[in-house]
A and B are shown apart, each in its own frame.
Chain A
Amino acid sequence: MRAAWIIARREFNRYFSTTVAYLVLFLFLFILGILFNSAIQRAYQYSLFQGATPPDVQVILGPMLTLLVFSIPALTMRLLAEEQAKGTIELLLTAPVRDWELVTGKWLGAMGFLTVLLALTFIYPLALDALVEPGIDWGPVFAGYLGLFLVVSALTALGVAISAMFRNQIAAFAVTLAVFLFLWMLGALSPGSTNPVLEYLDFGRHFYRTFYRGVIDLRGIVYYLSVTFFGLYLGSVIIESRRWNG
């Protein structure tokens, strides 16, 4: 595990020297800002006609999930694909580092950066709190952010695993995004919730039905942690199989 931390620290620091990471960070906060602004304006206009309820934290959490689905592939695509393209993986795989430590380290590094990103978005709940009377209810904010953190954990683990499959970062990005969108649409593919398996696999549903509404759901926590472990395990298996095939 020590090796995983060392790899994580380097990976975390690396984000701050890459343009892609800054671009993602900027676009994420910028788009979220625009959406937040329009949500506030709309709420204000409605409130002129009818004493509508003030907007709650959902106006922030909803767009954030969508933005994360598109941002995470850009942040994870590099992690193992680049090491393989540049051959630097050869030195990591001949250092006394277990395959799962390498994969976990990469995941942790990305999680560190995404945690910074999530922390920065906290200005929006704070702004909302200042704008509405008598302030917002903080319970749902924390439940929502816990949910987002779990989503990030699961998606990042899948992203790391997919990055292990490729040498080409763009290919890793495209496949990661495709997998995310597929998992997101699974619920929609089974209308009327006829297929419980598909519905269970839909990562969006676990969020929207519970954390998004301010409910901390154990099944959701188990789901996201399982996906995280699955992703890290898959990544380790891919790295190991790469060893066998040269």
Chain B
Amino acid sequence: MIEARDLTKYYGRRLAIDHLTFHARKGEIVAFLGPNGAGKTTTMRILTGYMPPSEGEAKVAGFDVVEESLEVRRRVGYLPETVPLYDDMTVWDYLEFMGSLRQVPNLDDRIAEVLERVHLIDRAESFIGTLSKGMRQRVGLAQAILHQPEVLILDEPTLGLDPRQRVEVRELIREIGRERTVLLSTHILPEAQELSDRVLIINKGRIVAEDTPEELQLRVLGAQRLRLRVRGPGGAAQLAQLLRQFPGVLHVHTVDEEQLEIEAKPEEAEALRVRLARAVLEQGYDLLEMCEISLSLEDIFLQLVRDESAEDSDAESTTRKGARNSED
């Protein structure tokens, strides 16, 4: 239903998304997960035919988003992040306007049906300007599903809603997602976990991980993470240097002067802890605490995002070193 290959978008010289390749099948709910400015909105705007990509191509419902933009737009329902609505129109008039632009058959019946579904039928004659944030969100959603689109693209659909409304909107998305393809973006991890069949983690315009929420969790459990609290001559940083060479240790990251986080291979978990404890003491440190950290999707997300920036700064320091060497 959605097929994106090497999607790239520059705003002027700034690279917003960088060769994104992904897909979404019919009846699948796919979540885009990433921090603000990661490129989620840009990607969605390309898929909805709002703007063309700088490079790469995408097909939605079998149509090219650039060459057959109108066909794509006929088949896509879109809820932009800002939920833009005309405040001076009533809910009904607004849906009538959007519905007639989209040539929805039996429009009056359909509007009533959709308003029923988003629980706004009693506000049909209210001016949009008088509605609460949650209600506006539901008007936006009603607009997006009005023409029974094959593909629904929702940019942060639960942003700014209270918990009860959030549950309602999720319920609605799940219901819609049974027959249609839904691509949604969120920065709320439990939401992605709860709603979607597949999660695409996106950071700085690149997909850093893609899997089902369960698989991602398994992947997280695949590594063992320990938190150590130590006190000693060179502080945590110096100990971290030493532990990096330690067999079985994958990653060491200093939290503060006393705390370390270690990522290690899951094999021989206990034996490793014993060896670690011993090594800490041998180096003349006091071991105040050692505990296992269990990871949530949130952690893997942060981990992936951090790895990305670490790579960047590594590359930077290498080039700087290179520059210095050449000066010698």
List residues of chain A with CB under 8 Å of any chain B CB.
2-3, 6-7, 10, 14, 17, 86-98, 243-246
Contact = CB atoms under 8 A, between A and B. Distances in A.
B80 A14 contact: no
A92 B9 CA distance: 22
A244 B51 contact: yes
Contact of B74 (A10, A14, A90, A96): A96
A5 to B, nearest CB: 9
B259 to A, nearest CB: 42
Given A17-B88, A87-B82, A246-B42, A95 B101 contact: yes
Given A88-B84, A88-B86, A246-B45, A94 B52 contact: no
A228 B288 CA distance: 80
Interface of B: 9, 11-12, 42, 45, 48-52, 70, 73-74, 76, 78, 80, 82, 84-86, 88, 97-98, 100-103, 143
A93 B61 CA distance: 18
A87 B100 contact: no
Contact of A94 (B9, B42, B48, B100): B48
A246 B52 contact: no
A243 B84 CA distance: 17
Contacts of B45: 90, 246
A14 B49 CA distance: 27
A91 B101 CA distance: 11
Nearest to A92: B101
B98 A95 contact: yes
Contacts of B98: 91, 95
Contacts, number: 63
B283 to A, nearest CB: 54
Nearest to A243: B51
A90 B80 contact: yes
B84 A94 contact: no
Centre residue among A90, A96, A244 by max chain B CB count within 10 A: A96
25 contacts: A6-B101, A10-B97, A17-B88, A86-B84, A87-B80, A87-B84, A88-B85, A88-B86, A90-B50, A90-B78, A90-B82, A91-B80, A91-B84, A93-B50, A94-B73, A95-B73, A95-B101, A96-B70, A96-B101, A96-B102, A96-B103, A243-B50, A243-B52, A244-B52, A246-B9
A164 to B, nearest CB: 16
Contacts of B82: 87, 90
Contacts of A7: 101
Contacts of B52: 243-244
Contacts of A2: 103
Nearest to A17: B88
B11 A246 contact: yes
Contacts of B85: 88
Contacts of B74: 96
B11 A97 contact: no
Contacts of B73: 94-97
Contacts of B51: 243-244, 246
B11 to A, nearest CB: 5
A70 B143 CA distance: 38
Contacts of A95: 73, 98, 101-102
B205 to A, nearest CB: 14
A245 B9 CA distance: 10
A112 B73 CA distance: 29
A106 to B, nearest CB: 13
By CB atoms of chain B within 10 A, which of A10, A91, A97 has the most? A91
A17 B86 CA distance: 12
Contact of B11 (A17, A90, A98, A245): A245
Contacts of B88: 14, 17
Contacts of A87: 80, 82, 84
Contacts of B84: 86-91
A98 B68 CA distance: 12
B78 A97 contact: no
A160 B51 CA distance: 21
